[in-house]
Structure 1
Amino acid sequence: MSKTSPGQQNGTASSWKALPDQDLSGRWEDSERKRKHLPDRQEEPAAKSEKAGPRGQHWLHRDLRVRFVDGQHKGGQYYNTKMTIEDVLSPDTCVCRTDEGRILEGIKEGMLETLVPKVEGNRVMVVLGPQAGRVGHLLGRDTERSRALVQLRRENQLVELHYDAVCQYVGPRDSDED
């Protein structure tokens, strides 16, 4: 169940249908990737290669809040743990810091997934598509369709994106946002 106020339950999601589809919509509609990960999941290596392979565009960026989804790394010690990307070493490799302050080096893009904030108004970064690198605010989430409504501040533009194309941003405020 989502935790929304009574006034937000239907208004945001239904108003999204009136927005014109963005370029990314067709790319993501066939995506069946689950957002909840169970520890006993057997097909995880295949899912990771699917995630990084076909899109060709890498999404790692400093100051993104992500979820660690590799159940095999270090015996699953960090599985399903939220962390922050501290540094990007190559397009598909980064250094992460856990909430407890532990530093993890050599983390591959396929070991992580984007995190979409639960609280509307939180800052997010678009990580895939033509607006990649832009920072904005989360206006709403459609969990049934795995879509997020984001207002990009600089362009004053509303975009509807798949959860994989947007990620919580915890970095400094910059000119892209103001």
Structure 2
Amino acid sequence: MSTINLQEHLVSSEEVLKGVFLHVKRDTVSLPDGASTYREYIVHPGAVMIIPLIEASDGTVSVLMERQYRYPVGSVMIEFPAGKLDPGETPLACARRELREETGYTAREWARAGLLHPGISYSTEFIEIWFARGLSEGQSELDAGEFLEVFTATAQQIQDWCRSGQITDGKSLTGALWLQNVLSGVWSVEWQTPEALHEGA
């Protein structure tokens, strides 16, 4: 482990923008060598991404995916279901809510996979990755102004789309890595019911 001091320390902070969604701050920080500089970044409440598995009776597995137009990049993107945390909401509660609202599905079992930071140089955002299985179909409840298409894909199709550049969304590329390693048995996750996960919290 390195003993080099890399820590930066807050000197002062100012708000640059407070929008409906985006909250941008500019901080003055002191650097390890004693100099000072600015750090501009987006304050984000955090989010979840769900990898919902549909297990057939013959043992094959498919995955619920979404297509959604993303205005900043001007393109319809292929993604795993995801959404941001509401105030006071736990990641599991958020994952269950987002899966139901965006796809209409509920899950019998859940497994927390890991954590990713999609924009470490300019955002506080973190995304918890959750697997879901034992899915039951229902009615989606999309937010006003939210339009997306839910579809199923095989794990191989998802890997092919990552390789070909059809999937370029960072969180979904990470999700594909988790999916490949969990299905192959290289990485393990602990499946539990939401009730058991809540009791163990």
Q: TM-score range by the shorter chain?
A: under 0.3
Task: Determine which structure has more spread, i.e. the larger CA radius of gyration.
Answer: 2
Higher helix share: 2
Q: Give TM-score, length-normalised by structure 1.
A: 0.25
Q: Give TM-score, length-normalised by structure 2.
A: 0.23
